[in-house]
Chain A
């Protein structure tokens, strides 16, 4: 259930084709409506599925992280309430697996003899390091395209998690006859313009889930979309829980105030 205004914006968005296509395409290359990813966290009482979060993190770490950053997430977020539910020891171990650019050493150097950047193992307070040192490096490694940071991707895309799920499962489709996929791009009708720079990231068994879940493309997409939803909105569970209490209180208060209002005005009508 995406809302009316959002829908209106989406309709507006779709009326505009992206630059590269305008000349060749006689197709209306607006993106297809998103598929429903059947997420456990939807609805007013939905919570994140811990298994999906942990599996999704695995997909992010082993597949997405090669190109996509997660700049706003710190390792300590991994063991926080409402998150993937890793223990502190697990989160520490995950952090230690990452190399973080080190502070200058005693001699004031930040590179070793060969000119490589000095690093140290990550700690809980660190944020996920970017896969590239800067935007130019990211573009240079991806034929000019910039892989977006994923920490807010769910909020930053029309359609949210369903959109991410649709993109990830939207490859390997046959383009309509006559539609020419731009060179160096991939066909994905869930992406605005139908040409996406990202190569198909998921294959079946791209990861091996330790909990025995079968790693189909759909399963991986569902899990990583869940993980990214949490990354965008780590306070969702707290928000919904607090909201329930606040609304119950307000409804009771409304009742009391209504009674007072009727009593005060009783002799006035």
Chain B
């Protein structure tokens, strides 16, 4: 898509197709000859890994839907039937449930990589924004999916999350009732969540198409954060990055498979192996691990509406990121000050996740975690809205290399190559 196409149809048939629907040309230009910076590291392989995750979730999900029953009275038993009676049902369901966690693991690495190397900065703002949109859709999909087994955590997670909408003044409780289709989470809720859980992944796939399309206009950023200046700076996507992505994908699948086969309930919660009971809330409601940081933010605010606003604001903030960073340099490699605050931010996110998993009144070494979560929440917003704009202005970046090729090959080799 960027630059002139180098595709030459080989056969008459290819020529015929090319004049009518140039799909082979598109594939050739995006997957084969696409000029890609030669210095992409391991953290750049997660885009491909995420595509793999989406495919796995859609494939296993379609199969599970053939056996699952979206009915409050039958859902729990139908999931057990999948685990016990359906041929390889246990495998497919464990891939799907662990797949969700692996998907989020990969997406967080992908996002932090973008944050570290400044991949959201001009001219890649839209790639980032579309990416945040995908992340939002993923959270919605995962939430709907977690409700489907109709265990205790499913039910109470759905109750708590849908009740977030009741914080909206005046119309809030009507919105909640509208979402439920009843006066509480129930059969009607389960049915519509199943419908949406089946729909959203295909929307995600569509938006991923836009994400990749937007990526192929300016091309990849790279760990140096400097622009591609000459053909010396790039290699064709195939075979260089197809083979590199394949290798790291395989390593990722090793980790994935280890969870599926040897710790399939590691990310799960024992309470979800008990059927939903609308009369008894489990002593500790915990969302899935990938939502814990936001959950901790919600809990750290002692006011219902403000809690919801802060939690929503944490995600909305990400949409503004491209304009909050005032630095002229993209990569944190050359931003000594920003680098430190970046790692502090990563730590704050982990702390928030930890706090979200504990009960409200928990303490560590006498310090109430509520206050730890409050400080971490404060830092989250401080980082984006105050530190980022200021640091970009006051920081003196290190000297940037002249080109990617020079950085990779050294001065003489780069000169020789030219």
Binding site for B on A (CB under 8 A): 3, 5-6, 8-9, 11-13, 15-16, 18, 44, 72, 77, 148, 151-152, 155-158, 192, 232, 234-235, 238-240, 242-244, 246-247, 250-251, 253-254, 257-258, 260-261, 264-265, 268-269
Q: Do A242 and B91 have beta carbons less than 8 Å apart?
A: yes
Q: Do A15 and B243 have beta carbons less than 8 Å apart?
A: no
> DSSP majority for the A interface?
helix
Given the complex, which residues of A lie within 8 Å of B270, measured CB to CB? 155-158
Q: Do A152 and B80 have beta carbons less than 8 Å apart?
A: yes
Pick from B190-198, B210-218, B351-359, B372-380 the stretch touching chain A.
Answer: B351-359
Q: Do B274 and A156 have beta carbons less than 8 Å apart?
A: yes
Known: A152-B274, A260-B247. 19 other contacts (CB 8 A): A13-B284, A13-B359, A16-B284, A16-B359, A44-B262, A152-B273, A155-B265, A156-B271, A158-B270, A239-B261, A240-B261, A242-B91, A243-B262, A250-B253, A254-B251, A260-B243, A260-B246, A261-B246, A265-B244
Known: A12-B362, A18-B283. A72 touches B244 (CB 8 A): no
Asked whether B62 is an interface residue with its Cβ less than 8 Å from the other chain, the reply is no
Q: Do B260 and A5 have beta carbons less than 8 Å apart?
A: no
Given the complex, which residues of A lie within 8 Å of B409, measured CB to CB? 269
CA distance A79 to B261 in the complex (A): 23
Q: Do B284 and A12 have beta carbons less than 8 Å apart?
A: yes
Quick one: CB contact mask for B258-294 with A, threshold 8 Å, 1 for yes?
Answer: 1011111111011101100000000110100100000
Using a CB-CB cutoff of 8 Å, which residues 85-127 of chain B contact chain A? 90-91, 94
Distance to closest chain B CB from A250 (angstroms): 5
Q: Do B266 and A6 have beta carbons less than 8 Å apart?
A: yes
Asked whether B361 is an interface residue with its Cβ less than 8 Å from the other chain, the reply is yes
Distance to closest chain A CB from B12 (angstroms): 32
Q: Do A234 and B273 have beta carbons less than 8 Å apart?
A: no
Distance to closest chain A CB from B405 (angstroms): 11
Quick one: CB contact mask for B392-412 with A, threshold 8 Å, 1 for yes?
Answer: 000000000000000011000
CA distance A268 to B414 in the complex (A): 12
Given the complex, which residues of A lie within 8 Å of B286, measured CB to CB? 9, 12
Number of A-B contacts (CB under 8 A): 115
Of the candidates B247, B266, B284, B359, which one forms a contact with A257 in the assembled complex, judged by CB atoms under 8 Å apart? Answer: B247
CA distance A9 to B257 in the complex (A): 24
Q: Do A9 and B357 have beta carbons less than 8 Å apart?
A: yes
Task: Give the nearest-CB partner of A247 in chain B.
Answer: B257
Given the complex, which residues of A lie within 8 Å of B267, measured CB to CB? 5
Asked whether B386 is an interface residue with its Cβ less than 8 Å from the other chain, the reply is no
CA distance A268 to B409 in the complex (A): 8
CA distance A18 to B354 in the complex (A): 23
Quick one: CB contact mask for B145-177 with A, threshold 8 Å, 1 for yes?
Answer: 000000000000000000000000000000000
CA distance A258 to B42 in the complex (A): 13
Subset of 30 A-B contacts with CB under 8 Å: A5-B266, A6-B266, A8-B357, A8-B358, A12-B286, A13-B283, A15-B358, A15-B359, A16-B283, A16-B359, A18-B283, A44-B262, A77-B84, A155-B273, A156-B271, A158-B270, A232-B273, A235-B83, A238-B90, A239-B264, A242-B261, A243-B258, A244-B261, A250-B254, A254-B250, A254-B251, A260-B243, A260-B247, A261-B244, A269-B409
Of the candidates A77, A235, A240, which one forms a contact with B262 in the assembled complex, judged by CB atoms under 8 Å apart? Answer: A240
Task: Give the nearest-CB partner of B238 in chain A.
Answer: A264
Q: Do A254 and B247 have beta carbons less than 8 Å apart?
A: yes
Distance to closest chain A CB from B247 (angstroms): 4
Distance to closest chain B CB from A155 (angstroms): 4
CA distance A107 to B88 in the complex (A): 42
Quick one: CB contact mask for B205-246 with A, threshold 8 Å, 1 for yes?
Answer: 000000000000000000000000000000100011001101
Q: Do A261 and B247 have beta carbons less than 8 Å apart?
A: yes
CA distance A247 to B263 in the complex (A): 14
Distance to closest chain B CB from A69 (angstroms): 13
Asked whether B38 is an interface residue with its Cβ less than 8 Å from the other chain, the reply is yes
Number of B interface residues at 8 Å Cβ cutoff, please give it: 46
Given the complex, which residues of B lie within 8 Å of A257, measured CB to CB? 243, 246-247, 250
Q: Do B261 and A156 have beta carbons less than 8 Å apart?
A: no
CA distance A264 to B246 in the complex (A): 13
Q: Do B250 and A253 have beta carbons less than 8 Å apart?
A: yes
Task: Give the nearest-CB partner of B362 in chain A.
Answer: A15
Given the complex, which residues of B lie within 8 Å of A250, measured CB to CB? 250, 253-254, 257
**6 closest residue pairs by CB, A with B:** A243-B261, A156-B273, A257-B247, A155-B273, A12-B358, A235-B90
Distance to closest chain A CB from B198 (angstroms): 26
Distance to closest chain A CB from B295 (angstroms): 12
Given the complex, which residues of A lie within 8 Å of B354, measured CB to CB? 8
Q: Do A268 and B240 have beta carbons less than 8 Å apart?
A: yes
Given the complex, which residues of B lie within 8 Å of A155, measured CB to CB? 265, 270, 273
Task: Give the nearest-CB partner of B265 in chain A.
Answer: A155
Q: Do B273 and A72 have beta carbons less than 8 Å apart?
A: no
CA distance A3 to B270 in the complex (A): 13
Q: Do B362 and A11 have beta carbons less than 8 Å apart?
A: yes
Given the complex, which residues of B lie within 8 Å of A3, measured CB to CB? 263, 266
Distance to closest chain B CB from A121 (angstroms): 23
Task: Give the nearest-CB partner of A2 in chain B.
Answer: B266
Given the complex, which residues of B lie within 8 Å of A254, measured CB to CB? 247, 250-251, 254
CA distance A44 to B253 in the complex (A): 18
Distance to closest chain B CB from A81 (angstroms): 13
Task: Give the nearest-CB partner of A73 in chain B.
Answer: B84
Q: Do B254 and A269 have beta carbons less than 8 Å apart?
A: no
Given the complex, which residues of A lie within 8 Å of B362, measured CB to CB? 11-12, 15
Task: Give the nearest-CB partner of A77 in chain B.
Answer: B84
CA distance A9 to B253 in the complex (A): 27
CA distance A269 to B265 in the complex (A): 43
Given the complex, which residues of B lie within 8 Å of A232, measured CB to CB? 273
Q: Do A246 and B261 have beta carbons less than 8 Å apart?
A: yes
Known: A15-B361, A250-B257. A9 touches B269 (CB 8 A): yes
CA distance A156 to B270 in the complex (A): 4
Distance to closest chain B CB from A24 (angstroms): 19
